[in-house]
Amino acid sequence: MSDEEVVDAPVVEEEVEMSVLDALKEVLKKALMHDGLKKGLHECAKALDKQSARLCCLAKDCENEEYKKLIRALSNEGKVSLIMVDSGKELGAWCGLAKLDADGEIKKPVRCSCAVITEFGEESRALNVLLDYLKKQADEADE
């Protein structure tokens, strides 16, 4: 046997900065798994009206101005944070509405102009990143 001791070097995990959209994507998937995600105008309006919503996402490319106005008004009334997403097809894919091929790539995206989270599910790093971002946004709005 050898007299040398083998010491394992501690593994250093680099914390990669998570963007807000990546965090939102992960939080939406977790909410979907925990049955806390509402999609579409009818479900979202009901959740916002009942004030059971905790976070609302609205697509910037939504063409119907009344739709946007209604969601914004219900969000403001219930003091629910609103996040604007660039594309409805992107939001639909994040909400699990897209058809996927065998490799897991999006084959047929389905558009979703609005999504509401009523239950975040389990706490994760992505949720903390998202909540920190929303808190900063609220602080900036108060100033």
Q: Residue 13: pLDDT above 60?
A: no
Confidence at 70, pLDDT banded by 50, 70, 90: very high
Instruction: Please report, as a single letter, which amino acid is at residue 84.
Output: M
For residue 133, what pLDDT is reported?
Answer: 87
- For residue 113, give the 3-state DSSP assignment: coil
> Residue 58 above 70 pLDDT?
yes
What pLDDT was estimated at residue 52?
Answer: 92
pTM for this one? 0.78
CA-to-CA distance for 51 and 47, rounded, in angstroms? 6
In 16-50, which positions are buried (b, 16+ CB within 10 angstroms) versus exposed (e)? eebeeeebbbbbbbbbbeeebbbbeeeebbebbee
CA 37 – CA 56 distance, rounded (Å): 10
**At 99, is the pLDDT very low, low, confident or very high (cuts 50, 70, 90)?**
confident
Rounded Cα distance, 75 and 109, in Å: 26
Contact of 62 with 68, CB cutoff 8 Å: yes
Name the average pLDDT for the chain: 82
- pLDDT interval class at 108 (50, 70, 90): confident
Contacts of 33 (CB under 8 A, 6+ apart): 121
Mean pLDDT in residue range 6-29: 67
Residue 71: count other Cβ atoms within 10 Å of its Cβ: 24
